[in-house]
Amino acid sequence: MDDVYDASAPAASDRFLRDVLHGLSQPQKTLPSQYFYDEAGSVLFEQITELPEYYPTRTEVGILNQHASTIAEAMGPNTLLVEYGAGASTKTRILLDALTDPAGYVPIDVSEDFLLQTAQGLKLEYPSLPVYPIAGDFMVELGLPEDVAGTPIGFFPGSTIGNLSDEEIDKFLRAARSLLGASSKFLIGMDLRKSPSILIPAYDDAAGVTAAFNLNLLKRINTELGAEFDLGAFAHKAIWNDEASRIEMHLESLKPQVVTIAHRDIHFDAGETIHTEISRKFDLPKFLDLVGTTGWTLSDTWMDERDYFAVLLLSAT
Ligand SMILES: C[S@@+](CC[C@H](N)C(=O)[O-])C[C@H]1O[C@@H](n2cnc3c(N)ncnc32)[C@H](O)[C@@H]1O
């Protein structure tokens, strides 16, 4: 495998501490969701994708399997597949198996150890495929490694786009357009609006895996920043916000408490929450408004028969 390109600036832990202290100083305490994904968080996320309540992964995989050859044809030969938030690259394999002579694969992810393990596994499965992992934040301007060949085509599955605000989607799509170039296409998977009776259990499963995933963020802050969160004094909450059309994940303080992080005391009232993630449920016209003038236009849409999930192919304008 080619060397990993670490795009996560030298002082990643300084940035983590700064983001944590900033988020926990807001009137509604918050933590950026990208910090869920240390190695343990990435493993827990993979377990979530297997849960009976968690329909998104199964549904998106079904759509990709059903339309793989059409999608591969639209992407064309000699594709350099650039995947944002690659995780375990499970859906990638569906595309790689369908593409004609893919030129290479560029997985981008903040979860560096998990990224490297996945990239190594792919290299064994696809020995002739050049793999160029990039460890870093896809919200900042990234460059492609110099020695890549092929036509860059973006892939952003898993409805990770639903974790971004309107402003972040605008910034992200513009940055992706600039990275991928004028001949590019961008395949994006997104979860759609549906009944809260389906949505809530998907983010608050009976086995408690999503709760463990949410609480792992506090564990990570303890381990990496020397904080003293008592994990038993916070509880996972998943709330449907109908007006904003999103699931919100929170960690609720079960009692009044003070947590010290880097000599700063953070006070919590009983019932006060830390907002840890949004997971937006889109309707297509509203999403296309967001695509607006970002340098992309819609080429194709595929959905499952229940209209739970959509896979969109955008083309560079
Ligand atoms: C919801 S998971 C999706 C994983 C996989 N793509 C899938 O479809 O199952 C989100 C992935 O994006 C990564 N991620 C989240 N925020 C990121 C960021 N700002 N920059 C780079 N990777 C990020 C996480 O580490 C995680 O692997």
Return the SS3 of 106.
Answer: strand
Band (2; pLDDT cuts 50, 70, 90): very low
**pLDDT tens digit sequence for 114-125:** 999 999 999 999
**Closest residue CA from atom 6 of ligand 1:** 86
The alpha-helical segments, DSSP class H, found in the chain are 12-23, 39-49, 55-75, 90-98, 112-125, 166-180, 196-203, 209-225, 284-291
Q: How far apart are CA 186 and CA 70, in angstroms?
A: 14
**pLDDT tens digit sequence for 71-112:** 999 999 999 999 999 999 999 999 999 999 999 999 999 999
Confidence (pTM): 0.94
**Closest residue CA from atom 7 of ligand 1:** 158
Closest ligand 1 atom number to CA of residue 86: 6
Closest ligand 1 atom number to CA of residue 160: 1
Q: How far apart are CA 169 and CA 180, in angstroms?
A: 16
**pLDDT tens digit sequence for 138-197:** 999 899 999 999 999 999 999 999 999 999 999 999 999 999 999 999 999 999 999 999
Look up residue 218 and give its amino acid: L
Task: Provide residues with CB under 6 Å of ligand 1.
Answer: 34, 37, 42, 45, 49, 57, 85-87, 91, 108-111, 137-139, 157-158, 160
